[in-house]
Structure 1
């Protein structure tokens, strides 16, 4: 494994966590900005004025969440497992990477639409009426924190699995080709 990537690992993990934490904070702040606007509620329906501040904060949270996910997936590399048997035979680092990758995608597929729905509901220039979207930003923001944890676990697991595979390849090269059985 190159020396540069060993030095950059903690920086990448810190960068990913900071982006997800900031996205979560922006999502929660968007909820506070949305709650400051006037609204009238009747059962599950509410009419309220959109908040441009909530729109800006929600949009920024969506962008940061997406960028953090892309960076972790690109820099973490591809950890491919094609069958259950291969998963069972693989190293614990590779297993952690695969599980973390799957969970990070699931969390992204929940958090991102929540943040987008909250943002879109605040993008209109007129008062809107419909189902209550009261906690979309808060739930999306909290999921950003969880997303960051699983992305870091994925990046660390994928990096460790690559290092293990690199070490195994070097050991195989050092021992040379094995003789054919007679």
Structure 2
């Protein structure tokens, strides 16, 4: 029963990460549809409400997927007592890397999303491709979390 639940959990995390990645891509498309004037690093544009909503959804799904993979997914294997196997070391390595990818991906998604916030002024720094790159990191996060869960299942 535990392995079936682990497989379902891995699929759930993958689905959430893939959905977050596609939301990041769609947010980037919506952001590129608004008119803007670019002068060096500064950019004046109208914020895109659709990009704000899609980017917020992508960041939320990435956070929920990470929480699901960490707290509901085989976390007890790392904290269990006994000899440290190579699978435990591997799972610890992948959970640390997934935390790093989460931090960078969340930063990119939130920065790209906040550049489309309506209350901000119309001019500021250039945040092109932040939402797109954040979407790519959602896919990377999904792969890392699956490897983490699989290595935990074989502890």
1:101 equivalenced with 2:102 (yes/no)? no
Q: Which residue of 1 aligns with 2:132?
A: 138
The structure 1 segments of at least 4 consecutive aligned residues displaced by more than 4 Å after TM superposition are none
Using the size of structure 2 for normalisation, the TM-score is: 0.92
Q: Is the 8 A contact 1:75 1:155 kept in 2?
A: no
The within-5 A match list for 1:14-163 is 14-76=11-73, 77-78=75-76, 79-80=78-79, 90-125=84-119, 128-161=122-155
> Normalising by structure 1, what TM-score?
0.79
Cα distance per residue 1:133-156 (max 9 Å; x no partner): 011101100000000011111111
CA root-mean-square deviation: 1.7
Structure 1, gaps ≥5 residues long = 162-182
Aligned length: 152
Q: Which runs of 5+ in 2 are unaligned?
A: none
For 1:64-108, what per-residue CA distance to the aligned partner results, in whole angstroms no more than 9, with x for missing partners? 000000001012214249xxxx9xx72121121011100000000
Q: Aligned-pair distance for 1:12?
A: 1.0
The structure number with the bigger radius of gyration is 1
